[in-house]
Amino acid sequence: MGHAVTVLDVSECRAIGQIRSSSRYVPWPDPFRERLRERIIALAKEYGRYGYQTVTGLLRHVDWDVGKDRVYTMLRQEDLKVPTKQPKRARLWRADGS
């Protein structure tokens, strides 16, 4: 028992409603972006509690022309999140000192 195969008179991209150039896109390596990514990772490991805005400020301070959105995106791509603060431990005594 064979299955019937339907032949369409359109391209595969048009059949699924996709732009042809998007399926064949290969990004060029960008040396600036790779250096920036390495620097962001180094800063995130050195200063673990700093978020993307503080890391952006540090980068701008040393003459990197970069926006906070790009830093945020790269931190998310590398899965470098600011660790959540631990809750304060409950005290055994009461507030009135007894």
The angle, 0 to 180 degrees and rounded to 10, between the axes of the packed helices 31-46 and 68-77 is 80
Instruction: Give yes or no for residue 96 having a pLDDT over 80.
Output: no
For residue 5, what pLDDT band results from cuts at 50, 70 and 90? low
pLDDT at 9: 72
Q: Helix or strand or coil: residue 72?
A: helix
**Region 10-24 average pLDDT:** 71
Rg (CA), the chain: 25
**Confidence at residue 8, expressed as pLDDT on a 0 to 100 scale:** 61
User: Taking Cα atoms as reference points, which of 76, 72, 56, 52 lies closest to residue 64?
Assistant: 56
Q: Report DSSP letters for 8-39, one per residue.
A: PSS-HHHHHT--HHHHT--PPP-HHHHHHHHH
